[in-house]
Amino acid sequence: MSELLFLLLPIAVAYGWYMGRRSGDQELKDTSLKLSEKYVAGLNYLFSDQSDKAVDLFIDMIKVDSETIDTHLALASLFRKRGEVDRAIRLHQNLIARPSLPIEQRDFAMFELGHDYLVAGLFDRAETIFIELLEHEGYQLKSAEQLLHIYEYTKDWEKAVAVVESYKLQQKAKIATSLAHYYCELAEPLLARGDNDGLKLINQALKADNACIRAYLLKASVLIEKGDRKGALKCYQEIPNQDVDFCSEIVAAVEDLYQGHRDPKGFEHFLRDLLQLGAGVSILIKLAQRVAITDGDDAAEALVRQELVRHPTMKGFCHLMHYHINSAESSKARSSLKSLQELVSTQIRIKPKYRCCNCGFSSGSLLWQCPSCKSWGRIKPIRGLDGE
Ligand SMILES: [Zn+2]
């Protein structure tokens, strides 16, 4: 608080001096006198350790006019940064209440007031302001983004979709990604109760963003439930083309689909194609398991060793140990290798499996919106030595 007073004191003094200089007529002289009285009262509060009252008095002293608008805006911003949102709100409200305030500064003060309300958790008031600003030139996108923050926080997905669609904001790539997830959020409860409209929403998600992995995963599981295994397989096959990092998320479901078609060779080809695309170690392990069935453990081990030279991973080394355990001649060597494998497996299990590419937040499960940076679709399976 004391550092703010050091800022406010000279501003108040300068303003009093300025008013005094201009006090050519009686009215201005009276104003100047009142300011001096307030200044003395402010100092009294200060010396009697009532710094809160002193700050409020000094704010009142700086009357809003064309010369002090920027001072008010700067002070309000400073108060909000310090967590004193009520004072920031008061300053912005004072500014907006002036009918003679130029339109650019009014819009700016309104936007800032909306921001104050957001910080204070007064979402309904913030929403009203940002909805009004949607119609003001230069504030449409900024206000829409703030509204989307509110609707994401309150999980009001219908309103979020309406804002994006009404103002055609999906042309911005980042907003198109968010829109696809809003449709997925709307679809999930419908899909859970078997409502066919869920699939329509998923198709709208893919129309908004045809790289939305979540929408492909949801669509594939709906099609499996409907008995359309071919359609489901097509959805899963599209995922590596959009983002090869998500291959580990589909491998078990795709294996089921190929088994349903009694087509193990087809599955093996699919896995080899994924490895060519740069898929991670889960795909390598699955392929090695297939090779072990068809060509034996030695061929599987050679495949794993060859891939690990190019892309070393803990999970891959752990799987490689499996072949050494099987081929160990003495029971002592087998038992030592088993303990070692158990230790490595435990380490792999306790490590996070997913990480946000935007902020680095890590998680044990796949989340579609990052709890830390709020980005959509940026949390992916971890790649590298500790991951895939
Ligand atoms: Zn993040």
What is the 129 CA–ligand 1 centroid distance (Å)? Answer: 28
Rounded distance between C-alpha atoms, residue 365 and residue 178, angstroms: 20
How many Å lie between the centroid of ligand 1 and the Cα of residue 381? 13
By CB atoms closer than 10 A (0-12, 13-18, 19+), residue 100 is exposed
Each residue's pLDDT tens digit, 273-326: 999 999 999 999 999 999 999 999 999 999 999 999 999 999 999 999 999 998
Query: Tokens for 382?
Result: 């971890």
Do residues 2 and 51 make contact, with C-beta atoms less than 8 angstroms apart? yes
* Ligand 1 center to 110 CA (angstroms): 29
Q: Which residues contact 291 (CB under 8 A, 6 or more apart)?
A: 268, 299, 300, 303
Cα angle at 36 between 33 and 40, to 5 degrees? 145
Q: Average pLDDT for residues 342-353, to the nearest whole number?
A: 92
If pLDDT is split at 50, 70 and 90, which confidence band does 71 have? confident
Q: Considering only residues 7 and 235, tell me which one the structure prediction assigns the higher pLDDT.
A: 235
pLDDT band at 61 (very low <50, low <70, confident <90, very high): low
C-alpha 376 to ligand 1 mean position (Å): 8
pLDDT at 223: 96
Render 17-37 in DSSP notation, one character per residue.
Answer: HHHHHT--SHHHHHHHHHHHH
Q: Which two tokens stand for residue 346?
A: 């435990």
> 369: which strand partners?
376
| Binding positions for Fe cation | 356, 359, 370, 373
Distance 377 CA to ligand 1 centre (A): 9
Q: What is the pLDDT of residue 356?
A: 98
Is 218 within 8 Å of 184 (Cβ atoms)?
yes
Could you list the residues known to form a binding site, using ranges.
356, 359, 370, 373
Cα of 370 from ligand 1 centre, angstroms: 5
Collect all residues with Cβ–Cβ distance below 8 Å to 279 and sequence separation of at least 6.
240, 244, 247, 248, 388
196 CA → ligand 1 middle, Å: 33
Q: Whole-angstrom Cα distance, residue 141 to residue 322?
A: 55
DSSP 8-state secondary structure symbol assigned to residue 364: S
Per-residue pLDDT, averaged over 352-377, amounts to 97
Asked if residues 111 and 139 have their Cβ atoms less than 8 Å apart, the reply is yes
Q: Name the more confident of 170 and 208.
A: 208
Please tell me the predicted confidence (pLDDT) of residue 173.
83
139-157: per-residue pLDDT in tens? 999 999 999 999 999 999 9
- pLDDT at 329 (0 to 100): 83
Mean pLDDT of the chain: 88
pLDDT at 138 over 70: yes
Q: Is the pLDDT of residue 6 over 70?
A: no
pLDDT digits 0-9 by tens, 251-269: 999 999 998 778 889 999 9
Outline where the chain has alpha helix (H): 2-21, 26-47, 51-61, 69-81, 85-96, 103-120, 123-133, 140-153, 157-166, 173-192, 197-208, 213-225, 229-242, 247-260, 264-277, 281-295, 297-310, 314-327, 331-350
CA pair distance 381, 348, nearest whole angstrom: 13
What is the distance in A from the centroid of ligand 1 to the CA of 4? 34
Structure confidence at residue 56 as a pLDDT band (50, 70, 90): confident
Ranking 63-67, 193-197, 312-316, 350-354 by mean pLDDT, the lowest is 63-67
Tell me how far apart the alpha carbons of residues 181 and 157 are, in angstroms, rounded to a whole number.
9
Distances (CA, A) of 299 to 119, 287, 292, 293: 61, 11, 7, 10
Q: What is the pLDDT of residue 376?
A: 97
357 alpha carbon – ligand 1 mean position (Å): 7
**Mean per-residue pLDDT, 18-28:** 55
